[in-house]
């Protein structure tokens, strides 16, 4: 196996027993770095410290990760203009933060007879958000609900 010392210096190709003896004399562990190579590469190092550093590195990369969430806003077909405006502004805020938004239109009772009002409302919402968002998935009528998923442009 090819051995790398604790300071990073090349110690050449040595037998496994010699490598183990070198690691034992330094008070450290023998860690296999690259097993797929010929000969395999091993390094003399503190294995506990390696695991600790790897864990810290993984935590740092998770902090920098941006998780996309799906926010849901619910509407009814006979919503007033002002309430619609407020909810559209809320959607714009969610989209500016980088989240996806699921717009759900719910029908109750006799509202099912006027499904065209709901379609008009969804078109109005899409038109008012066309500058910041695009429709990712358009859902059909599922029971008493219609859903549209919008994502940032």
pLDDT, tens only, 53-73? 999 999 988 887 777 789 999
**Closest to 29 (Cα-Cα) out of 3, 11, 48, 12:** 48
- Does pTM surpass 0.75? no
User: What does the pLDDT look like over 113-142, one tens digit per residue?
Assistant: 988 899 999 999 999 999 999 999 988 888
d(CA 82, CA 84): 5
Element (H, E) at 22: helix 16-26
151, 103 contact by CB (below 8 A) = no
What residue ranges define each of the domains in the chain, with the CATH number in brackets? 2-63 (3.10.20.80), 70-152 (3.30.110.10)
- What CA–CA distances, in Å, run from 137 to 77, 85, 94, 103? 20, 22, 17, 10
């Amino acid at each position: 196996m090819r051995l790398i010392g604790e300071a990073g210096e090349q110690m050449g190709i040595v037998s496994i027993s010699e490598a183990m003896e070198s690691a034992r004399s330094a008070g450290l562990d023998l860690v296999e770095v690259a097993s797929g190579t010929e000969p395999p590469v091993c390094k003399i190092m503190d294995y506990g410290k390696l695991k600790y550093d790897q864990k810290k590195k993984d935590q740092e990369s998770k902090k920098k990760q941006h998780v996309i969430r799906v926010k849901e806003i619910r509407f009814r077909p006979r919503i007033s203009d002002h309430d619609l405006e407020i909810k559209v502004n809320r959607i714009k805020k969610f989209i500016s933060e980088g989240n996806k938004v699921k717009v759900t239109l719910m029908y109750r009772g006799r509202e099912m007879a006027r499904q065209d009002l709901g379609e008009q409302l969804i078109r109005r919402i899409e038109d008012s958000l066309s500058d910041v968002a695009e429709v990712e998935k358009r859902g059909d009528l599922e029971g008493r609900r219609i859903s549209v998923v919008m994502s940032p442009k």
